[in-house]
A and B are shown apart, each in its own frame.
Chain A
Amino acid sequence: MEILKCDNIKKVYGSGDNQVKALDGINLSVEKGEFVAIVGASGSGKSTLLHILGGVDAPTEGQVMVDGTDISTMNRTQAAIFRRRKVGFVYQFYNLIPTLTVRRNIQMPLLLDKKKVNEEYFMQVVTSLGIEEKLDFLPSQLSGGQQQRTAIARSLLYRPALLLADEPTGNLDRKNGEEIVDLLKLSNRNLKQTIILITHDEKVALEADRIITIEDGHIIADRKRGDSYEKKR
């Protein structure tokens, strides 16, 4: 089942001489339950693509369908509600609300929707991420790895259609980085969670089912794990 479909996505910043094409005709399709890694050099457009997929940014041209919904024409409110319900974000710098406890941070998307938290599922998620004892702590009282687990828990609690992770291991040491990737894999496998992950790290990318390489706003390679590298252009 196709959960994500991008049709000729273009994103242009600036105008005239200062115009920069961040994305230039991206076509992409992701099946439900896939674990996709997007790799590319700095400035290649991978973060822009992730932001567009997450409804944080809108494409200049093209259409993005997530779980059957066209997100490219949404207004700000619709986009926010979409982010809250259909997408879970995991950022390099965790992006936790420093003034809220771990529990509240995780529950935030549900609370914004005024929905009751399913305590059983909540405990299942936090226990599987190993932060069940840190629920009443503030983010500043946690280590980097624990903060990233909290961010993952937050992104998973709403059972989103897509989990988008932007360099989730970029700010962690090797051991913590590996653990985070394992957790993502676990959620992909156990919860059938679709994951799109951006990384510089080839080793992390190799953990994904599919690796997409972006260069200058184009997808230059799209391969399954174990496939040989083949440039598209």
Chain B
Amino acid sequence: MRKRDNGFVWSFISKNRASSVSVMSAALIASLLLSLLCSFLYNIWVYDVESVVLEEGDWQARIIGEVSEEEWNQICSFGNIERAVAGEEAVEKLPQTVKVPDEAGEKVPVINLYFRHLHTIYQDMMLVSQKLGLESGRITFHYQLLSMYFIRIPGDDKPRMILPLYALVMLIVSFSLVIVIHNSFAVSMNAKVHQLGILASIGATPRQIRISLIEEAAALCMFPMLAGSLLGIGGGWGLIRMMSALAGQTTGRHDVVFRYHLLIFVLTVLVSMLTVLISAWIPAKKLAKMTPLEAIRGAEEMQLKKKKHSPVLFRLFGIEGELAGNALRAQKKALRTSTISLTLAFLGFAVMLSFFKLSDISTSYTYFARYQDVWDVMTTVKNVRIEDMGFAAALQEAVKEEGASSCVVYQKAEAVAQIPAERISAEVTGLGGVERLAGAQRIQDKGYLIQAQLVILDDAGFMEYCEEIGIVPRLDGAVVINHIWDSVNSNFRYPAYVPYVKEDGGSTILQGEDVLQEGDVLQEGEVNPAYGEQDETVCAEEKAALEIPVIGYTDREPALREEYEDYALVHVMPVSLWKTLSGSTGHGIRVEQNAYIRVLMNRDAQVLAAGESGNQVNTKVEGAITEQTDAKMRLERIEEIIMRKLTPEYDIVTENRVQEKESNDKMIGGYQWIIGVFCSLLAMIGIANVFSYTMGFMRVRRRECARYLSVGMTPASLKKMFRIEMFVIAGRPVLITLPLTVAVIMFMIRASYLNPAEFWQQAPYAPIAAFIAAVFGFVAIAYGIGGRKILRDSLVEALRNEAVM
């Protein structure tokens, strides 16, 4: 019997070459795309993990500060902790939630922990913390790295949406691909119920039929699936190579090397095989419910279980419309899966494109829109105090000779301002007070503690700034940027500002940030209890608050490439004043490690550089490229001057805007290429599915169409019916997907606080329209191929087949 099963299988395959070729190509294409998508996404994921590790290290959790030997041993003895490594980290790199030890300098000691099983990392760290009696602020996690393994740590408030989005799209698309294989196989199997009925009628047991079906499935699909999976890996390798070639030179990227995991291969093949097996099982199940005679007679027939009308189609297109509607309804299961699959692929495609467009718009807001006109050359001078930088005047003179209009040396510091309640502006009070807007702490009758940021400018730069904002230039006080984001009436994307304080105060009292944690305020000269009496190394002067004279208020920030905290009261002051007031101790105010030099070129150079920054594309202007090169060369000359003046005495990093723009453009180009490839893959998957469905659908309709023709339907009417079906098959997923996509996009727009009109103006209409056109095009091709075959077939043959059945 076994031998006879094989005979049947091979005879069916050889006699139904068209159907077999269709199943084999569907299996090949689907497994190829599945494998390609898996390997591509796997590589993107590996690349992202590597980037995170390169940037921030491969540790998974951390204990901040020193631990005793006994504590070290306890940590190492934890079952899930694979290893612990002692190291140190720069204070500024630590998250704000971390409690930095008082004695810490610029770097703090840390214990980097690595775990065996990441899924229990949070619980384990809580246990470690409990056992060692650690304060809550001494433990931190590598949130970003852990999120790459789908581990969310409580308290991590960043959205980290990209990986779940990838995973979701991947799942959707895989499901869609599985449906491609299933559809194609199911159609072929359905057509075979007739033959299986004959087999059953001559005594084949259900088991033998099942075996024969599975043998056929294996014989048809095994090779295409293996070949498709291998080709997919090859395709993935090719894509990664191309990506590497395109984006390899971009700064900030590391080398992309193709990686592959055996598990992906096993998973791809397993999913494909399982789909085929299930698809083979379905007709066997169907057959079990029929008598052999029923199977022989009417298996291939498209039947409706209930009487249905297609009144709309009938009214619009006549009997052809009704026939088309009923034919689709009779195949509604296959059509449904195909629609779902295409809808998912289309949704994935449209949502991904829109997501990246939203990111683009968002990036342009957070970066280019804000900083495009405030710098041309930026130099970071590492580990330096601005008051020690005696070169500022000479440097400014040198760069201005080279065409710079402005050169400012500055450094930032973090402090806390103590503002009496009566000095808070009426606008802020009207909006619910500082507590509501900024969550500031009110200390009884003494007022509010507000985060303050200091921008210490070189004296010439400060005088220049005073002139710009219309204040008589003088060096004996600070300028307060007197605005606060009105978070009640505006969002972070389009912020509106109101005055922070009343502009009648002659000074501000500042103190170290630590006071915020201690919850106390000081009078001028009063000792900051945050330093603690036990700390004898901190002198009394250091513990004292600092009164800064204020010479004016403004709402214009100095033209620097800086972003300030939303609710901070920013004080801009000259370095000479800072030097006098802070003395040798700085009053506990934390000054950043690095200082910066910002150079702005004169108007001509600036216009050029701004033109390249994306908002004004002027590349078509004659001679623009030459001018661009000139601008770049001028900026490079400025950089050279800075390098000459500052090295080797200072450790500096310098960058110019044109260069950064070029590098950024290249990175965005590479990024868009990746997104393009990914979205094209999604589109191909959807189209492959609808194509395979349509081809399968057409294959089983020979008899049905012969019947129409026999009662007088003309070929033109038949084509009309096909056209109606084509529009329904292709149009339905599009009609379902468009509102769904709009809903998802609206949700994303709302989440990102962007103005919807801004997105809709730049929405990726062209690729979406191209996808829709491709869907219609491929369905039309499938109908063209299938329809031509049906019309070419001999009507007599089709009718005779029926007669001999």
- Interchain nearest-CB distance for A102 vs B (Å): 10
- Interchain nearest-CB distance for B302 vs A (Å): 6
Residue of B nearest to A83 (CB): B712
Q: List residues of chain B with CB within 8 A of the CB of A81.
A: 712, 714
Q: Which residues of B in the span 580-603 have a Cβ within 8 Å of any Cβ on A?
A: none
Q: List residues of chain B with CB within 8 A of the CB of A82.
A: 712
Contact status A77-B304, CB under 8 Å: no
Residue of A nearest to B708 (CB): A97
Q: Which of B323, B794, B803 contacts A91 (CB under 8 A)? A: B803
Contact status A97-B707, CB under 8 Å: yes
Residue of A nearest to B309 (CB): A101
Q: List residues of chain A with CB within 8 A of the CB of B326.
A: 97, 99-100
Q: List residues of chain B with CB within 8 A of the CB of A92.
A: 803
A47 to B327, CA, bound (A): 29
Q: List residues of chain B with CB within 8 A of the CB of A54.
A: 710
* With known contacts A99-B304, A99-B326, A99-B330, A112–B710 Cβ distance under 8 A: no
Q: Counting CB contacts under 8 A, is B216 at the interface?
A: no
- Interchain nearest-CB distance for A9 vs B (Å): 14
Contact status A104-B717, CB under 8 Å: no
Q: Counting CB contacts under 8 A, is B126 at the interface?
A: no
Q: List residues of chain A with CB within 8 A of the CB of B330.
A: 98-99
- Interchain nearest-CB distance for A191 vs B (Å): 19
Q: Counting CB contacts under 8 A, is A89 at the interface?
A: yes
* With known contacts A104-B322, A137-B307, A76–B302 Cβ distance under 8 A: no
Q: List residues of chain A with CB within 8 A of the CB of B707.
A: 95-97
Per-residue CB contact flags for chain B residues 506-523 toward chain A (1 = under 8 Å, else 0) read 000000000000000000
- Interchain nearest-CB distance for A104 vs B (Å): 7
Residue of B nearest to A137 (CB): B307
Q: List residues of chain B with CB within 8 A of the CB of A113.
A: 712
Contact status A76-B712, CB under 8 Å: no
Contact status B803-A166, CB under 8 Å: yes
Q: List residues of chain B with CB within 8 A of the CB of A136.
A: 307
- Interchain nearest-CB distance for A69 vs B (Å): 14
- Interchain nearest-CB distance for A180 vs B (Å): 17
* With known contacts A100-B323, A140-B303, A56–B715 Cβ distance under 8 A: no
Q: Counting CB contacts under 8 A, is B716 at the interface?
A: yes
Highest count of chain A CB atoms <10 Å: which of B306, B704, B803: B803
Residue of B nearest to A51 (CB): B796
Per-residue CB contact flags for chain B residues 761-805 toward chain A (1 = under 8 Å, else 0) read 000000000000000000000000000000100111001101101
Residue of B nearest to A11 (CB): B796
Q: Counting CB contacts under 8 A, is A108 at the interface?
A: yes
A99 to B342, CA, bound (A): 26
Per-residue CB contact flags for chain B residues 321-343 toward chain A (1 = under 8 Å, else 0) read 01100110110000000000000
Highest count of chain B CB atoms <10 Å: which of A81, A99, A101, A111: A99
Contact status B711-A111, CB under 8 Å: no
A104 to B714, CA, bound (A): 18
A188 to B303, CA, bound (A): 33
Q: Which residues of B in the span 633-676 have a Cβ within 8 Å of any Cβ on A?
A: none
Q: Count the B residues whose beta carbon is within 8 Å of the partner chain — how many?
A: 36
A136 to B309, CA, bound (A): 11
Q: List residues of chain B with CB within 8 A of the CB of A51.
A: 796, 799
Highest count of chain A CB atoms <10 Å: which of B318, B319, B707, B715: B319
Q: Counting CB contacts under 8 A, is B713 at the interface?
A: yes
Q: List residues of chain A with CB within 8 A of the CB of B303.
A: 98-99, 138, 140
Q: Which of A95, A109, A140 contacts B802 (CB under 8 A)? A: A95
Contact status A47-B803, CB under 8 Å: yes
- Interchain nearest-CB distance for B86 vs A (Å): 76
A84 to B714, CA, bound (A): 9
Contact status A101-B307, CB under 8 Å: yes
Q: Which of B708, B712, B800, B802 contacts A85 (CB under 8 A)? A: B712
Contact status A99-B329, CB under 8 Å: yes
Q: Counting CB contacts under 8 A, is B301 at the interface?
A: yes
Q: Counting CB contacts under 8 A, is A218 at the interface?
A: no
A3 to B306, CA, bound (A): 42
Q: Counting CB contacts under 8 A, is B288 at the interface?
A: no
A226 to B326, CA, bound (A): 49
Contact status A112-B796, CB under 8 Å: no
Q: List residues of chain A with CB within 8 A of the CB of B712.
A: 80-85, 87, 108-109, 112-113
- Interchain nearest-CB distance for B123 vs A (Å): 60
Contact status B714-A77, CB under 8 Å: yes
Contact status A77-B716, CB under 8 Å: yes
- Interchain nearest-CB distance for A17 vs B (Å): 21
Q: Counting CB contacts under 8 A, is B744 at the interface?
A: no
Contact status B714-A57, CB under 8 Å: no
Contact status B319-A138, CB under 8 Å: no
Residue of B nearest to A89 (CB): B710
A48 to B318, CA, bound (A): 32
Contact status B795-A57, CB under 8 Å: yes
- Interchain nearest-CB distance for A200 vs B (Å): 12
- Interchain nearest-CB distance for B781 vs A (Å): 22
Contact status B803-A84, CB under 8 Å: no
Q: List residues of chain A with CB within 8 A of the CB of B170.
A: none
Q: Counting CB contacts under 8 A, is B681 at the interface?
A: no
Contact status B796-A57, CB under 8 Å: yes
A113 to B791, CA, bound (A): 20
Contact status A112-B717, CB under 8 Å: yes
Contact status A56-B795, CB under 8 Å: yes
Q: Which residues of A in the span 104-128 have a Cβ within 8 Å of any Cβ on B?
A: 104, 108-109, 111-114
A98 to B304, CA, bound (A): 7
A84 to B711, CA, bound (A): 6
A47 to B307, CA, bound (A): 33
Q: List residues of chain B with CB within 8 A of the CB of A76.
A: 714-715, 791
Q: Which of A95, A98, A114 contacts B711 (CB under 8 A)? A: A95
Per-residue CB contact flags for chain B residues 704-727 toward chain A (1 = under 8 Å, else 0) read 100111111111110000000000
Q: Counting CB contacts under 8 A, is A154 at the interface?
A: yes
A113 to B308, CA, bound (A): 22
Q: List residues of chain B with CB within 8 A of the CB of A85.
A: 712
Q: List residues of chain B with CB within 8 A of the CB of A77.
A: 714-716
Residue of B nearest to A22 (CB): B796
Q: List residues of chain A with CB within 8 A of the CB of B711.
A: 83-84, 89, 95, 108-109, 112, 154
Q: List residues of chain B with CB within 8 A of the CB of A154.
A: 711
A56 to B708, CA, bound (A): 12
Q: List residues of chain B with CB within 8 A of the CB of A167.
A: 803
A57 to B791, CA, bound (A): 13
Contact status A108-B319, CB under 8 Å: yes
Residue of A nearest to B310 (CB): A99
- Interchain nearest-CB distance for B678 vs A (Å): 41
A111 to B320, CA, bound (A): 9
* With known contacts A95-B710, A140-B303, A47–B715 Cβ distance under 8 A: no
Contact status A56-B710, CB under 8 Å: yes
Residue of A nearest to B330 (CB): A99
Highest count of chain B CB atoms <10 Å: which of A54, A93, A98, A137: A98
A96 to B710, CA, bound (A): 10
* With known contacts A51-B799, A95-B707, A97-B323, A80–B307 Cβ distance under 8 A: no
- Interchain nearest-CB distance for B297 vs A (Å): 9
Q: Which of B302, B709, B803 contacts A80 (CB under 8 A)? A: B709
Q: List residues of chain A with CB within 8 A of the CB of B710.
A: 54, 56, 83, 89, 91, 95
Q: List residues of chain A with CB within 8 A of the CB of B799.
A: 51, 56, 91, 95
**Pairs A–B under 8 Å by Cβ, sample size 17:** A47-B800, A47-B803, A57-B794, A80-B717, A83-B711, A84-B711, A89-B710, A91-B803, A92-B803, A95-B711, A100-B326, A108-B711, A108-B712, A112-B712, A138-B304, A154-B711, A167-B803
The 9 A-B residue pairs with the shortest CB-CB distance, nearest first, are A84-B712, A99-B326, A111-B319, A80-B714, A83-B712, A57-B796, A77-B714, A109-B712, A99-B304
Given known contacts A100-B322, A114-B318, what 16 new A-B pairs fall within 8 Å (CB)? A56-B795, A56-B799, A76-B714, A76-B791, A80-B714, A89-B711, A96-B707, A98-B304, A99-B302, A99-B308, A104-B319, A104-B322, A112-B712, A112-B714, A137-B307, A140-B304
